[in-house]
Amino acid sequence: MTVTVTVTAPDQPVRTGAALRIRGLRRTFGSAVALDGLDLDVAPGELLALLGPSGCGKTTALRVLAGFERPDEGRVLLDGEDIVPVPADRRDTAMVFQSYSLFPHLTAADNVAFGLRMRKVRTAERRARAGELLELVGLSGHGDRFPHQLSGGQQQRVALARALALRPRLLLLDEPLSALDARVRLTLREEIRRLQLELGITTVFVTHDQEEALSMADRVAVMNGGRLEQCASPTELYERPATGFVAEFIGTMNRVPGRAGGDGLVEVLGVRLPVEGPGGTGNVQVLLRPEALEVTAGGTARVTRTAFHGATTRLRITLPDGTDVTADVPTHGAAELTAGAAVSVRPRQRPALLAAWDGAA
């Protein structure tokens, strides 16, 4: 869903973001194919996350958008203009890196104002805008500090303010939180989302962290082998994955043997369920989320491990045929479901996915 917000930062014009269209991007490195005909649309003011395993092409795609890589084929249209031939420093884009990339000999305020100085903006205006942006990212009063005097989270806020100083049409974030500890990551990702919404800036965010992508983005583009598997809202990716890869990559998924009758139903763990998406016949692998499994005390399966997750407890269970599954149950009802306990497992009545619908083994 596209979000357009008209609240602005001090001295910032109302912006609704730029429209981004990626068409047929292909990039190879020798025999390795990093991007294989990538097509994507990003709406004005939208935050799109690129997510996928290492080597899927997400960082290469971001570098092409920034102008640091030139594609072998394809176009990148920013408000209808193909920016592939445009040099990186003239694209009206800004990038925030994982490593912060602050100048160690400059103060926080001078780091923020660096791009403005390169554009010959007057000193008084540079200082005023740097102060406003430091206040925007929660660093008012830190402008005279050098990078070594700031924490990792504060340095990343300075890097973000520096990127925003040039008022880019497109903001690019390259795993900007991966070098931070968990608590700071959580705080800063909320801050980045708040700023992105306030400024209405179109943003493309590369991350390997699923929780980060699903909690921050309007939509998530899942990539695999240089291709787009699915681009959808976090809810749709989780509940209605388009391919077996997406189903098993997003969140936790169990594979349980079942038998499909070709009538749109599959029998698994003694229960007949409707099939979501393309079906099959004969022996199949059924994909079931941990919360889709109902566990009760007594039976022929056995709990092998438990993990407390607050309101839920995650159980690792070995079924009678030797299949291991993961189930999430309410913690208040898990007192008897300890390691070694005999249990029964059955799927809840909801549509099931078949692993074989896209050729998965």
Residue 244 has a pLDDT of 83
Same domain? 177 vs 56: yes
CB 310 within 8 Å of CB 336: no
CB 58 within 8 Å of CB 51: yes
The C-alpha torsion from 11 through 13 and 17 to 19, rounded to 10°, is -140
Does any domain span residue 14? Answer: no
At 165, list the tokens.
Answer: 């100083």
Residue 356 has a pLDDT of 60
Same domain? 71 vs 89: yes
Specify the pairing of strand 281-288 against strand 324-330: unpaired
CB 101 within 8 Å of CB 126: no
CB 130 within 8 Å of CB 166: no
Give the tens place of pLDDT for each residue, 129-186.
888 889 888 888 898 999 999 998 889 889 889 988 888 999 999 988 887 777 888 8
Residues facing 297 on adjacent strands? 343
Work out the average pLDDT over 219-244. Answer: 93
- Which of 215, 217, 210 is CA-nearest to residue 51? 210
Phi and psi at 73, nearest 5°, equal -145, 160
Specify the pairing of strand 73-78 against strand 219-224: unpaired
Measured distance between the N- and C-terminal CA atoms of the chain, rounded to whole angstroms: 34
Output b/e per residue, 78-94; b: 16+ Cβ within 10 A.
beeeebbeeeeeebbbb
- Look at the chain and report how many structural domains it folds into: 2
Output b/e per residue, 34-48; b: 16+ Cβ within 10 A.
bbbebebebbbbbbb
What mean pLDDT value characterizes the chain?
88
Does any domain span residue 302? Answer: yes
At 351, list the tokens.
Answer: 């549509």
Work out the average pLDDT over 192-212. Answer: 91
Does any domain span residue 1? Answer: no
| Residue numbers of the domain that contains 94 | 20-244
Give the tens place of pLDDT for each residue, 291-323.
999 999 999 999 999 999 999 999 999 999 999
Same domain? 191 vs 292: no
Does any domain span residue 68? Answer: yes
- Which of 138, 268, 271, 133 is CA-nearest to residue 199? 133
Does any domain span residue 2? Answer: no
Work out the average pLDDT over 200-213. Answer: 92
SS3 assignment, position 9: coil
